[in-house]
Structure 1
Amino acid sequence: MPILTLSTDIGQRDFLVGAIKGQFLSLDPALQVCDITHQLSQTNFPQAAYICGNAFRYFPAGTHHFILVNVFETPVTHLLVAKFNDQFITCPDNGLLTMITAEKPHEIVRIPAGGQRTLLELTQLAATAITRIIHRGGLAGEVAAGEIVEKYPLRPTYGPDWIEGQILFIDNFENVVINITQKEFNDHCKGRRFKIVFKRNEVIDTISDNYAAVPETEKLAWFNSAGYLEIALRNGNMAGLFGLQGFNEQMQQSGGSQSHNKWFYQTVRVFFE
């Protein structure tokens, strides 16, 4: 039974998510439609890549993932469908694909979408194309994409005795995920002592196994289920208390002193001794 996942920035306060599911199920009632999230940010592609990429890897081969983020930022002439890690990803041609895959997939086709005025007109075209690809068993017969918009994940920066990462994601409990993986941390740490520094003078110098490893309201750092460095307060709101913010593409591009001050609190630096 084929599987389709939905990930969007639409939210769930109106009818759109339900309507999109109905479009797919009208074409293939046997389709299993699964929600990843409908709370993605329009301007935070690293966040979308973190959420989608880490969810997708738990789905079986052949799964189709349909992602709608910032669809109408520019006129939409087509959508992309790519085969990656034996799964299929359909999304706008706005850089999100390579942000998720961290490379340009070898097999990419396009779904023509010129002249579609509304989201549901666009998703109807996508539903038709995706179900066709599912029934064919692959991308054979589709139009190759050619050049696409490419954006890539933020990577940490390094020095001999430090590594600096950016805030990828803040969850509902205001725990803060940094774009430093456990492997990157260990490779650079090499057994040395360390200090995780954020908001100028706040320090964590121990990696915990889980939230229960520290007393109530105490700061902690650990490597989460996705293998990324996470800083938190046990039963507290880390991001809100310390003024930490996730990456925002528009904020980064806006420039100015206000942008600079906000950008500082989007980074976390680890010093090794």
Structure 2
Amino acid sequence: MGWEARRIITLLTDFGLNDPFVGMMKGVIFGINPYVALVDLCHTSKAYDPSEGTFLLTTAYRYFPQGTIHVAVVDPGVGGPRRPILVTCDGHLFIGPDNGLLSSLAEQAGSSGVRAITAARYFLQPVSATFHGRDIFAPVAGHLSLGTEPAELGEPIDDYVRLALPRATPSGTSLIRGEVLHVDRFGNLVTNIARADLELLAAGGLLMGLLVHAAGLEIPIVAYYGQVAPSAPGAVIGSADYLEIFVNQGDASRFLDVGRGTEVVVGRRDVVTSHL
């Protein structure tokens, strides 16, 4: 066994870094395939909230090579009737609970790309009612990394739990309304307003001709953080191609006293204020 078995497995959880939970999942995976490459995608996704985990996973997975296995565990229903599922999408494999966490990827994959994981022979026994990340998701990922075929894990399903992320919506032809989906480590407010939404709104003009309105403030769109003064707010197209509100060398979440779910409105400078 060697480089041919060196698959990549990413881990996204809400476990944090103060407990050994993530380390134990890695230990289980290495016990099955010691040659696998493990990547910590994120372990500070909002606890008990699959929607934020969905956003983080769907904006990150495409930067990994095809064949990567992604384990996502944000699982408030652990031990209950919810199923573990496997999604095959865009050349990647995704493992997680059937609570909506993987539903946006499942929608892309279609029903033939979604399976309920029922093959208990691939689980770590006995299975704890409180730690399926260690006892189900991690060992399944380890076996997949060694070449286990998805069809061996269970039958296709089409009744998986759907979780629709809020979408930015046009308001007439001059405004678009969205909301904050994620607050990152720096306090930047990442919205669901995509670059494509803004380009459509700008109608061929510069994005800097648009104005962002959030928490009672009018905020300019700039090309990079340093285009506003230190401690001043601005908005920029972030690395995931979504609009984010920032404070230069500061924390926008604290500065504006807002968080996830806050409404954000974008429009042309000459109309945004009068149409709010």
- The TM tier, using the shorter chain, reads 0.7 to 0.9
Of the three residues 150, 153, 157, the one matched with 1:139 is: 150
Cα deviation, residue 164, structure 1? 0.6
Give yes or no for contact 2:106–2:114 (8 Å, CA) kept in 1: no
In structure 1, what is the Cα distance between the partners aligned to 2:239 and 2:224?
10
In structure 1, what is the Cα distance between the partners aligned to 2:211 and 2:19?
46
SS in 1 for 2:35: coil
SS in 1 for 2:141: helix
CA displacement 1:191-232 (0-9 Å, x = unmatched) = 3843211113x102x321111112112221110111110111
In structure 2, what is the Cα distance between the partners aligned to 1:121 and 1:225?
32
C-alpha RMSD of the superposition: 2.3
Residues 113-128 of structure 1 aligned to structure 2 (within 5 Å):
116-120=127-131, 123-128=134-139
Cα deviation, residue 89, structure 1? 0.3
In structure 1, what is the Cα distance between the partners aligned to 2:90 and 2:29?
23
SS in 2 for 1:246: coil
Question: What is the match of residue 234 of structure 2?
Answer: 220
Question: What is the match of residue 274 of structure 2?
Answer: none
Matched-pair identity in % = 24
The amino acid across from 1:231 in the alignment is: I
Of the three residues 155, 161, 174, the one matched with 1:149 is: 161
Cα deviation, residue 172, structure 1? 1.8
In structure 1, what is the Cα distance between the partners aligned to 2:247 and 2:188?
7
Task: Indicate yes or no: 2:221 matched with 1:210.
Answer: no
The amino acid across from 1:189 in the alignment is: A
Cα deviation, residue 140, structure 1? 2.8
In structure 1, what is the Cα distance between the partners aligned to 2:210 and 2:137?
49
Tell me the TM-score normalized by structure 1: 0.84
Give yes or no for contact 1:7–1:35 (8 Å, CA) kept in 2: yes
Tell me the TM-score normalized by structure 2: 0.83
Give yes or no for contact 1:50–1:100 (8 Å, CA) kept in 2: no
Question: What is the match of residue 195 of structure 1?
Answer: 211
Residues 1-273 of structure 1 aligned to structure 2 (within 5 Å):
1-72=6-77, 75-100=80-105, 103=108, 105=110, 106-112=112-118, 116-120=127-131, 123-136=134-147, 138-146=149-157, 147-160=159-172, 161-190=174-203, 191=205, 193-200=209-216, 202-204=217-219, 206-247=220-261, 266-272=262-268, 273=271
Stretches of structure 1 lacking an aligned partner (at least 5 in a row):
248-265
Aligned length: 253
Return closer, same or farther for 1:173/1:234 CA change in 2, 3 Å cut-off.
same
SS in 2 for 1:136: coil
Cα deviation, residue 75, structure 1? 0.6
Question: What is the match of residue 257 of structure 1?
Answer: none
In structure 2, what is the Cα distance between the partners aligned to 1:56 and 1:87?
8
Range with greater deviation from structure 2 (176-185 or 125-134)? 125-134
Cα deviation, residue 152, structure 1? 2.0
Stretches of structure 2 lacking an aligned partner (at least 5 in a row):
1-5, 272-276
In structure 1, what is the Cα distance between the partners aligned to 2:69 and 2:234?
37
Return closer, same or farther for 1:231/1:101 CA change in 2, 3 Å cut-off.
farther
Runs of 4+ residues over 6 Å off in structure 1: none
